[in-house]
Amino acid sequence: MNDRVPVAAQANADNVFFFAREQARARLARVEAAVHQLLAMAAGTEATIGAIHDLRVSLRRFRATLDTFRKFFPAGERRRVRQAMRQVFAAAGEVRNRDITLELIRKIKGEGCALLAEKLQAERLALEQVLREKLQGWVREDFSTRWRCDLRLP
């Protein structure tokens, strides 16, 4: 049996390897930009609604890239990065859930809606603060440089 990989197949595998790493690098750069964008905004403002959504989208796309091309990244490091992202994604999800609920409540305008909206807004602010603390920890640890090194990205 011939164990040699045909040259064309090897070239294709190399192209996929470089493509996977470049995609992960670009997605990580988008996560980093989304983190800094959110942290630059004042807490509880309307602008943070979109910024938190953008953060969640960038995290989900980066995670999908790591999952799709998992064989091109060191397994242990990939798992550690995904675990760190999972915690922030969950925290951002809690804030996002309040944003969506508040939007729906504002459309209803029924009896008791103002009180409920006030309660949800207070919860949202507290949850946003938890999210910001997690993201500030990431920035202090220079997460993007560390993940780039751990995942061996260009």
How do residues 77-96 score in pLDDT, each as one tens digit?
Answer: 999 999 999 999 999 999 99
Model pLDDT, residue 2: 46
The residues near 150 (Cβ < 8 Å, ≥ 6 apart) are: 74, 77, 80, 81
* pTM for the predicted model, two decimal places: 0.88
Q: Where are the alpha helices (DSSP H) in the chain?
A: 7-40, 46-68, 75-108, 113-140, 143-150
The single-letter DSSP state of residue 6 is P
Q: Which domains does the chain have, with CATH numbers?
A: 7-150 (1.20.120)
The residues near 72 (Cβ < 8 Å, ≥ 6 apart) are: 16, 17, 20, 21
Binning pLDDT at 50, 70 and 90, where does residue 11 land? Answer: low
- The angle formed by the CA atoms of residues 128, 132 and 136, to the nearest 5 degrees, is 175
Distance CA 117, CA 3 (A): 66
